[in-house]
Structure 1
């Protein structure tokens, strides 16, 4: 694959210039986006009042309930999942040396969807219990697909290459997507179909405080661990042979990081559904700003992913209010034109070189 060299070329120009400024700007923009996410909605709340509520200066009342109990968990979940998906996508693009890699490339998302849809269609748990059984089933499905891909991707020698990972992941994803569709079309309950459709498109509308702790802790810790892997990820971009010569056990490293990123993807998808394009688009944008070096790239990708998903979710619940659009629809509508622009940009660069 030529993805690794492409990753290096895309960020070679601006690498190392002003990364601290970029981080500061993104952090400030994220704070503004969080406040906007808490202020805007069917009930508009002044930003100053939002700050008073967050700092404990506001009296108990309906506005305080809206901010703290309804909107804040949703905004925080969006920020955590956005950061996690962006970092996972960045790592996977280096891991398999393919610029089109994202958190859903390796079949984990399809496994999570199959698990969740199975519980929804069968009505396991029912009522309030569904808020526990659906994420649990989604995570179990993600882990089952992880195990299957892991077994299929290992060669006879036990080595795991990027190409085998991608092929095994795509194959498992298609099979599980077909099973999900089969479950959906054989369901006789229209309410199930509506719920499954919303879940598979991705959304944050069900976020509550009791759902936030597990994915937040998992994604934050996992993201921090991935950030510490900047140097071996840089070595992978130099190629399989080059990384081995420089002392990296590529097979063992790739297997360990694959398991970790799959666990994190499962945790994210279990609570938000399949929100696509965040882990595919944000790493490319971050790489164009700060270059391909992962020590600079990963923090920028994390902040960029958090900012992007918070803003996308804000648009999802305000553009057609009171209708709550699945945020995955908006990320896809944004991601498609972004990649068309990248394609045009690549053609322009090739023409200039010619």
Structure 2
């Protein structure tokens, strides 16, 4: 048996190294008696491979992350942070496991992007939901497939088509269509949004609706590309897309204002992004990863007076502000990285 001093020293050493030590028997016992944990599993449809060690780890990380979330929100309450965190579908994971879902991607060396159209200068703010009455369905890519590249592209095309056709409530387009058919074997790992745009434009492929080509966020690898033989919705064809030079947020502002949703690459590998709940997000330290989201608007927060980008994510409505994140808009911290946007619909 170890003395109390030895145990304390071991725990201190483990804390310094970032190692989490716990008694799996005690954690499992807590799992069985915790209504909060049961409610969490129900809310997020969580299942574990066994009732012992895997679930014990999940509960431990849940409790550990919950403490960090509460500590951050104390700072927010004191005005020392511009955003808040909350429990969500990732709270039963370690940050290192969350990070592993978003490996760093490499952009293609060539592009089929065309010259973007001329547009009018941007106004002080823009939100297609309130300004245009657009209804956008927030998607959930799940927790097993790094498919943000496909979800962001599908949403960009969907919103662009809705603006072009003056449709207030567009039928959601299928990210799974892109994952399966444009994924090139890496649809759930290191794929990029340009591959999706090239699939639609260069190969002149239609993007089917979610009704006709159902999304499946439980797949850990991309599925087989099987296009529907009959359709109930109207697939969208894209004729061209354009690129925004990295760090050119001023150009992105103009195009977003004129109804061109822009797909960006973003590093999600921080505890704060993992658990973002509300407010103006300011990127903390990250570990290097890639995730793709869609910039649809911008504005100025009336509480903090901070400028922000309005960004649509694909983590479902229980993450962030009903599925959205407001990211600080600051010329010293540009957001327009690997930025692409649709520019013309096809026949």
Higher relative contact order (CA 8 A, sep 6+): 1
Range into which the TM-score falls when normalised by the shorter chain: under 0.3
**Which structure is higher in strand share?**
2
**Which structure is higher in helix share?**
1
Q: Output the TM-score relative to the length of structure 2.
A: 0.25
